[in-house]
Structure 1
Amino acid sequence: MTPTTTSITHALDLADARHWTRQPPRRPAARLRHLLQTQDATTLAIRRFTRPETLTRWAQGHTANISPIQTRLIEREIYRSWQTAIRHKAHQRILEQHGCVTVQIRARFTYTTPHYEHDDPRLHYLTEELPAPHARALFEARHQDTHDDRLRRILADGIAEAYFFRALPPDQQQAAVTISDLHHVRFHY
């Protein structure tokens, strides 16, 4: 079973893991050695909320003082950067062969029309196949390392078309849907 998350970026990374041709290192020191080969220590330290010297020490195997939170952050970084070429090829193959990008989401939504905005207090549990243009936009934004807010907007538009407005003709789809409270999201493709 794939873990769930409230980060759309991480949820996409977790779904991409099913397409890896080999697994990443498992120990924090080995993961850091790989990350430090592909990224600058200062940049990586800023992303992992620590100092470059600390990362270098951990990569050398001195991981006694590494916290569980830092271990999870390092794991997320591995998932974010592992086998990017394989990830791109898998996304391209999915889109070219009209593959299905399914999203499972538990969230609250806000609806905005030209006349009013409505916060729906209900927690929606949805499993929907994203329309192809939204799946393509989501993959392209992910490849550009776009911020999670932009990915959330793309996902909300896709869910709006796939679920909320599917019975309406395009000229009547005047409302915009926003994810106002995301509890979890999971992708499968």
Structure 2
Amino acid sequence: MVTVGEGLDKAVQGAFTRPAPKSAGAQMRYLVKQHKHSTKAVAQLLGITQRTVERYVKDQIKKPRSDLAARMEHEVKQRWQPQIRAKAKHTAATTGGIMIDTRARFGFTAAPGTTDDARLRHLTLALPPTHAARLFEAQERGATENQLRQIAAEALGEVYFRDDGRRAHGLEVRLTDVEHLEFDL
């Protein structure tokens, strides 16, 4: 299942100016550096022993288990280039906006007598900066996936279905059965 949170993270990662560390040793050294050279803190973060962290740092272990490799990559990408990440979010939220490409089922709550059956649609739209700001702010506050999906649905409802207030007044959009969801800055 595609999530809005992961899509937003991936879009911001597209703004990185350098690639994140790839090897297990380089990733582990980066995490240790980020945690003020505390192998204990990194061990607790990843759910492994402090000795294992030290062995990765010294390149004594080169190939992590697949679940550990995924956790390491996730933690590195969450911390990689924080200033670039912040600048990309700020630009999207103030001037640039964000592109959304989705294939999902859209349902509507509208006035009686209108078609409100959910339909599968593929939409690619530029969302204005106000909607990008709402998405990023909610994500930083720790909003749930359902809350992020509701904000995205409201943005799509405003921009596409209600055409910025020019039609379909009172139409509320629900976003379900997401097959594809991608954001771009």
In structure 1, runs of 5+ residues without a counterpart are: 46-50
Q: Percent identity?
A: 28
How many residues align structurally? 176
Question: TM-score scaled by structure 1?
Answer: 0.75
Give the 3 Å change call, closer, same or farther, for CA 179–81 of structure 1 in structure 2: farther
In structure 2, runs of 5+ residues without a counterpart are: 36-40
Work out which of the residue numbers 154, 159, 166 in structure 2 matches 1:157.
154
Aligned letter for 2:65? I
- Residue 163 (structure 1) shift: 1.1
Verify: 1:135 aligned to 2:132, yes or no: yes
Structure 1 residue aligned with 2:120: 123
DSSP 3-state at the match of 1:52: coil
Structure 1 residue aligned with 2:42: 41
Matches within 5 A, 1:86-97: 86-96=84-94
For residues 16-73 of structure 1, the C-alpha deviation after alignment (integer angstroms, 9 at most, x for no partner) is 123223221111332233234435436633xxxxx33286267344254512x44334
Q: Which of structures 1 and 2 has the bigger CA Rg? A: 2
- Residue 78 (structure 1) shift: 2.5
Verify: 1:66 aligned to 2:83, yes or no: no
Give the 3 Å change call, closer, same or farther, for CA 149–74 of structure 1 in structure 2: farther
Matches within 5 A, 1:74-85: 74-85=72-83
Aligned letter for 2:69? T
Work out which of the residue numbers 92, 109, 112 in structure 2 matches 1:112.
109
Question: TM-score scaled by structure 2?
Answer: 0.76
Which deviates more from structure 2 when the two are superposed, residues 26-35 or residues 6-15? 26-35
**Contact 1:131–1:161 at 8 Å: present in 2 too?**
no
**Contact 2:100–2:182 at 8 Å: present in 1 too?**
yes
- Residue 168 (structure 1) shift: 5.0
Which deviates more from structure 2 when the two are superposed, residues 176-185 or residues 56-65? 56-65
Give the 3 Å change call, closer, same or farther, for CA 30–117 of structure 1 in structure 2: farther
Extract structure 1 runs of 4+ deviating beyond 6 A: 114-117
Aligned letter for 1:91? K
Aligned letter for 2:42? A
**Alignment RMSD (CA, Å):** 3.1
Distance 2:85 2:148 in 1: 17
